[in-house]
Amino acid sequence: MSAQDERDALGLPPALYEHALRLLGESPDGVPPGNGYRLPPSSAPHSPPHSPQASGDPLPHREVRSAIEAALDPLPVDAADLHRRFVRLGLQDRHRHLVRAVVADLPLATGRWDAARALARQLIRTGTSSFTVTAGLALLARLGEAEDIPDLSVLGLFRELNGPAVQALDALDRRAAAVLWLAVNTYHAELRPLVRALWADDRKSVHTELLALTAPPHLVSGATARRIAEASRLPALLDRHPAVAGLLAQAGRLLVRMGSSRDDPANLLDCQDVQGLYERVVGRTGLLPPGLDHAATLLSLAQDLSSGTGVLLDWPPGQRTALLDALGRLLATPRWTAAVDRAARHPEQRPRANWLRRSGRQPFRHRADPPGRLRIEVVTGDPAERALVEARILVDGRPIVPALFGRGAADDPEYLFGDDRLRAEPEPREVRLAEAGCTEGCCGALYVTIRRDGDQVVWENWRRPWSTSDSREPDPALPAHHFDAAAYDAELARAEADHSWSWPARTVARLIRAGLDEQPELLGRWGAGPGWVTTDINNPDTAVVTFWYSPGPASDRPERPERPAGRLQFRWIIPDDGTPPETQAAAALHRLTEEDPKTYSQVCGGPRQLAQNLGYPWPTRT
């Protein structure tokens, strides 16, 4: 009896593998669409009538995981057997990741590998539910062989199965994994020509499309950059075209995106032959014509190699230092400094040129830190990349945040240095060092407890709260760090006093914030309270002051009792007018003594109805 006959006898739908092949055959030019295919509705087994899932009383994840473990012990004899077991459990789509996690941890004796591998192949070729196929993919992530690459590449075209299929392929063929990831995870028009060339493995077209790629930063994440590098076999491509400056510049930009502190450090750390890519890019920088874009790329690479994720790569002794030295020598040559000076004469290029002037030597000042040393580097990134300002903390020369957290950048210096957060006292204090880019409530943060113990400062009790879901396992304990107290205090004082990284608008914001801390009555007299004060990430040459306003009996419209409870947030934008920052900050603080800030600021948050009742226009979205 054929596999199809068996499925017909059991009343099962067609195998997902066959469904994916049919969809691919129907796609124009045989190229899958951006965002991949959706699993058919029939791929989710129906819950039995009396299961907790069908009754609307979902089980906790831990109990579901235990049930999945029981369903896989012993391993089923075939795909139909596993399908029946999963149907009895009443699994839902949200449990697919638990199936994958259980199979990843499943004890498999060496003598059972061949049987498990044979079962996995049957599951992915004949499985009709996403759960059975996911189990097969997870088994092949552990036991797969070269012959499994084509099948994995087909099933991974379903967006819901792309993750486990790519994970299995990563262990077998990085290029195939990268092409599959890009096919399903890139759908912007600017990227699709390159994806089509990579799917066809047309090396000439890949070269052409890489040179033509001009997608803005928000379209090329760290993960996308990594997969482009792996799918295009970028080190080998550079070797075939060693004198093409445009290709070299593109490789540098991809490295910068991979090392972005906004993204997962794994994008850089797990990229195939990434150290070879660094060597080729830095070793051939002499091919690049001096200019603002190239200088910004090279400085960004240096920042990453000095205090960012690039430090965490397994470098041979002296190699990272040699790369930094090469970048430092090039950027300090008259030809390159003159190019930056020329750019600074153009208003649209001036913010970036000034960033290069301010930060141009910072990555090259430090080489090696002695054991037990804490160092704080305030790093400002390329304004054109909307990069963040980070207070990077290095212990023994290694950046703490990407090493221990990896879900967001280090906190900004105004936060970390504010309220003496990093000061060590005998009374322990918990301090947040980083927050996930999406917010702590979504994907967590990194905390450490700081205390002074005699002539030592101790960082201990590391904490990485994730979401409130009980599906996550607890973090392993992280080791405590001990620092010489005198050296710690000296480094913290140095970092707090050093504002060389700052630019005029940022300095204006800092001085205004300090003034409001010293004189809370400046806002209080207008019924307002302080919010955050910083610079606009989209326009770094403007300071932004926010404040809250809670209407009360003394407000300007006390006769409107129908207004809803709540408070409004206002945003006051202060462009850099070219005068000294101290003058600008003093003028802003003086204006608060003379004029109600609600009259020259704009509402940016709070209840819309409250704003309308009080006569304040609601912000329009552009």
Please report which confidence band the pLDDT of residue 470 belongs to, taking 50, 70 and 90 as the band edges: very low
Tokens of 487: 């050296």
How confident is the model over 443-469, as pLDDT tens digits? 899 999 999 999 999 999 999 987 444
Element (H, E) at 590: helix 581-594
Peptide bond into 383 cis (omega under 30): no
The stretch 561-571 carries a mean pLDDT of 73
How confident is the model over 72-89, as pLDDT tens digits? 888 888 888 888 888 888
Give residue 144's pLDDT.
96
State whether residue 553 is helix, strand or coil: coil
How confident is the model over 211-267, as pLDDT tens digits? 999 888 888 999 999 999 999 999 999 999 999 999 999 999 999 999 999 899 999
How confident is the model over 160-199, as pLDDT tens digits? 999 999 999 999 999 999 999 999 999 899 999 999 999 9
Give residue 622's pLDDT.
52
**Cβ count near 580 (within 10 Å):** 11
CA dist., res. 43 & res. 86, Å (int):
12
Instruction: With beta carbons less than 8 A apart as the criterion, state whether 330 and 289 touch.
Output: no
Lowest mean pLDDT among 35-49, 194-208, 336-350, 575-589: 35-49
CA 101 to chain centre: 22
Tokens 């590449």 belong to 153
Tokens 């405590």 belong to 480
Q: Is the pLDDT of residue 525 over 60?
A: yes
Give the pTM. 0.90
* Backbone φ and ψ of 449, nearest 5°: -100, 130
Give, as one character, the DSSP assignment of residue 315. Answer: P
Give the CA count within 13 Å in the CB-facing half-sphere of 316. 6
Contacts 24+ apart (CB under 8 A), 48-53: 48/87, 48/88, 48/90, 51/88, 51/89, 51/90, 52/90, 53/89, 53/90, 53/91, 53/92
Which range has the top average pLDDT, 4-13, 35-44, 287-296, 463-472?
Answer: 287-296
Q: What is the CA radius of gyration of the chain?
A: 28
Q: Is the pLDDT of residue 291 over 50?
A: yes
The vertex-64 CA angle with 58 and 65, nearest 5°, equals: 155
Please report which confidence band the pLDDT of residue 508 belongs to, taking 50, 70 and 90 as the band edges: very high
Give the CA count within 13 Å in the CB-facing half-sphere of 325. 6
Q: Is the pLDDT of residue 522 over 60?
A: yes
Q: CA separation (Å) from 264 to 40, 226, 326?
A: 31, 11, 27
State whether residue 484 is helix, strand or coil: strand
How confident is the model over 119-167, as pLDDT tens digits? 999 999 999 989 999 999 999 999 999 999 999 999 999 999 999 999 9
Give, as one character, the DSSP assignment of residue 412. Answer: P
Q: Is the pLDDT of residue 66 over 90?
A: no
Give 391's strand partners: 378
Percent of the chain with pLDDT over 70: 91
The stretch 350-367 carries a mean pLDDT of 92
Give, as one character, the DSSP assignment of residue 45. Answer: P
